[in-house]
């Protein structure tokens, strides 16, 4: 099966892709294009999957760069492939042609950034914690150090969990309310004391408040489409032992 790669017109002119799970070498609960070495999938299969992604993006496997994601607001700047352990961070930026920035997700937001005029790109992994702590703004800050301008930058949120599938408790709601009372608009009532959180809506809000010229979501829900996407929350509800990780990539 060939790889399925979702793209956005907002990033036209910049090579990028939000990869679905289709076309990979993994099997079992990881069936498809699992790119997460942090999973319990066979490392050989994950390596094959990453090689396929690198080939699709027109780079060598060593130029497909990832970070050790820790749900932080840390962004790193790369001008060459990292040697040794991947840095602990949740976003990367570069102005180096041929370097592909990749983030992994399985419900969290993968966000790809580009200022085409400046030739600066970024990629961020933005779960609820990273988004709340400022990883999207940190990515924009790092891009600016390389010559990007926020008003020229386009940011696209890829497949992520949608509001109707993201049930949270009152403590979660209170954490966002205490940070910014206006963020309560991204919650609706669920069953009992439960609420439904609009993660991509919140991400778009933070991007727009951060001054990006264009901000959009591909409108794909990871939880609702098991044939195309991995989902951490769906795996928990199904009582599966683990879950695959989707990869999203951008390069100059």
What is the predicted pLDDT for the residue at 239?
A: 97
Contact by Cβ (8 Å): 132, 175: yes
| Fold classified for 5-162+198-251 | 3.60.140
What is the predicted pLDDT for the residue at 84?
A: 85
For 231, the 3-state DSSP assignment is: coil
Strand partners, 103: 248
pLDDT tens, position by position, 171-188: 999 999 999 999 999 999
Strand partners, 154: 114, 214
Q: How many Cβ atoms sit within 10 Å of the Cβ of residue 40?
A: 12
In the predicted model, residues of the chain with pLDDT beneath 70 are 1
What is the predicted pLDDT for the residue at 83?
A: 86
CA distance between the termini of the chain: 27
What is the predicted pLDDT for the residue at 28?
A: 97
Please, what sign has the CA dihedral across residues 30, 31, 36, 42?
A: positive
Please, what sign has the CA dihedral across residues 120, 161, 247, 216?
A: negative
What is the predicted pLDDT for the residue at 174?
A: 97
Contact by Cβ (8 Å): 111, 156: yes
What is the predicted pLDDT for the residue at 227?
A: 97
User: Is the overall model pTM greater than 0.85, yes or no?
Assistant: yes
Query: What is the distance between the alpha carbons of residues 248 and 244, in angstroms, rounded to a whole number?
Result: 13
Structural domain boundaries in the chain: 5-162+198-251
């Amino acid at each position: 099966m060939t790889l399925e790669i979702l793209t956005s017109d907002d990033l036209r002119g910049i090579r990028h892709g939000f990869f679905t799970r289709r076309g990979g070498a993994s099997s079992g609960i990881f069936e498809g294009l699992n790119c997460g070495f942090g999973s319990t999938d066979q490392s050989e299969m994950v390596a094959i999957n990453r090689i396929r992604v690198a080939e699709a993006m027109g780079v060598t496997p060593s130029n497909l760069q990832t970070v050790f994601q820790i749900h932080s607001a840390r962004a790193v700047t790369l001008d060459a492939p990292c040697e040794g352990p991947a840095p602990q961070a949740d976003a990367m930026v570069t102005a180096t042609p041929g370097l592909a920035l990749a983030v992994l997700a399985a419900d969290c937001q993968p966000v790809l950034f580009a200022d085409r005029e400046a030739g600066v790109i970024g990629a961020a992994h933005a779960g609820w914690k990273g988004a709340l702590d400022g990883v999207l703004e940190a990515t924009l800050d790092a891009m600016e150090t390389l010559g990007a301008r926020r008003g020229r930058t386009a940011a696209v949120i890829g497949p992520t969990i949608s509001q109707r599938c993201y049930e949270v408790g009152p403590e979660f709601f209170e954490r966002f309310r205490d940070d910014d009372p206006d963020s309560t608009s991204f919650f609706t009532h669920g069953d009992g004391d439960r609420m439904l959180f609009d993660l991509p809506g919140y991400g778009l809000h933070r991007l727009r408040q951060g001054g990006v010229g264009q901000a959009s979501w591909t409108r794909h829900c990871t939880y609702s489409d098991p044939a195309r996407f991995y989902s951490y929350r769906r795996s928990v509800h199904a009582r599966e032992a683990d879950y695959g990780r989707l990869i999203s990539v951008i390069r100059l």
